[in-house]
Amino acid sequence: MSPTPFTLLFVLFLLLETITHLWLASRQARHVTKHRARVPDEFAEKIGLQSHQRAADYTVERMKLSVTRRVFDAMVLIAFTLLGGLEAINAFLISVIPNDFWRQLLLLGSVLLISGALQLPFSLWKQFKLEQKFGFNRMTLGLFISDTLKGLLVSVVLGLPLAAVTLWLMAASGPLWWLWAWMVWVVFNAFILFVFPTWIAPLFNKFTPLDNPELADRINSLAQRCHFALQGLFVMDGSKRSAHGNAYFTGFGKSRRIVFFDTLLGKLNPEEIEAVLAHELGHFSHKHVQKRMIFSFLLALVFFAVLGFLKNQIWFYQGLGVAPVINGSNDAMALLLFFMAMPVFTFFFAPIFSFFSRKDEFQADHYAHTQASSEALISALVKLYNDNASTLTPDPVHSAFYDSHPPASLRIRRLQELQAHNG
């Protein structure tokens, strides 16, 4: 099959995406290494040189893994598309499965299973080499296998019905199938948000009520000041997998809860934890979560509409190395090709999304300043940057492209300015 104009466009964007990622990763590694020998002045009294160098080395190692993974992913994408991988899998399934619907469903499942298997070596390396090297890994191989199998089971139980309904809509609901499929996708995501805290997350971690009356009273008082209806405070046994600390809000309505990693509670004092949660409540106060959900739903609508057009275009299939099935349906193939190719063409929107995410983080920090102690938030951030080996000297271009949070120095400087202004 000779290259089509769409083939050339796809290859061009894939090359641009890969080269840009490699260039940004190399900038990050060089910049962090260049500043490895000296702790930035604003952190000199709080973070030791050894910790700073550990964070630099951790960042560089992560960049190396990222580069390897991105090149590998590009090769896999080419193998699936232009080198005929999807075509071969589909041809085999046609030869052994006469039912068109089940053949398509199995095509989706087979490709996703193969893709997941190809990513396993990177997950293993990251967990048992990279994280182990820097003292973060607490996971055993048995737990890793258990998590993987549970994740696969959850994906089958939840993903299989969604895929089946989508394929049925594509075949049976006419030219506007994409609108109906989008509605199903929205309902599915809303359903996941409700069931995740109480049904899915407990499959992987143990959640126990927070057993610290002083901290619970402080947090409940904060929630009341922020007019936030809180349904529960829980501690998660994150330490059985990682030494990284975190806290998060999850759920909606009666399932809304605050979850602490047990590792976080051992690192921050009550005032610092209150300040961190005040930041998270800032996201709710400014409706960042709702805004992002609405935006993601609208963006998904655009993607479904584009897919609705591409599904009927022969050049779309041929341009990505697939000959459409004549006496059968190509719906599953259209889904696979679209979701494989879409990230290639949308990669360069990443810095726009990162910009607005960082803007939200500054707003949440400002809100935390009004509801808790800025000094405590600064102290907590410094501890978290230090304990999680987050670099204090990221490359500005790499950070602008990828980082959802502002650089540590800029974020803390803003908080200090707010503190001084009110002082």
As annotated, the binding site includes 279, 283, 361
Q: Say how far apart CA 73 and CA 255 lie, in whole Å.
A: 37
Determine the Cα angle at 247 with ends 185 and 264, to 5°: 150
Measured distance CA(257)–CA(250) in Å, rounded: 6
Q: Is the CB of residue 59 less than 8 Å from the CB of residue 32?
A: yes
Q: In 3D, which of 373, 367, 394 has the Cα closest to residue 268?
A: 373
- The residue annotated as part of the active site, out of 131, 365, 387, 395, is 365
Token representation of residue 344: 């290639």
Which residue ranges are tagged as binding site for Zn(2+)? 279, 283, 361
The tokens for 396 are: 């500005």
The reply to whether 214 belongs to the active site is no
Catalytic-labelled residue, pool 87, 280, 395, 403: 280
Distance CA 236, CA 257 (A): 12
Strands 247-250 and 233-236: unpaired
Question: If we measure between CA atoms, which residue out of 360, 223, 193 comes closest to residue 292?
Answer: 360
Four-residue CA torsion sign, 170, 174, 176, 180: negative
Would you please indicate which residues are annotated as catalytic (active-site) residues? 280, 365
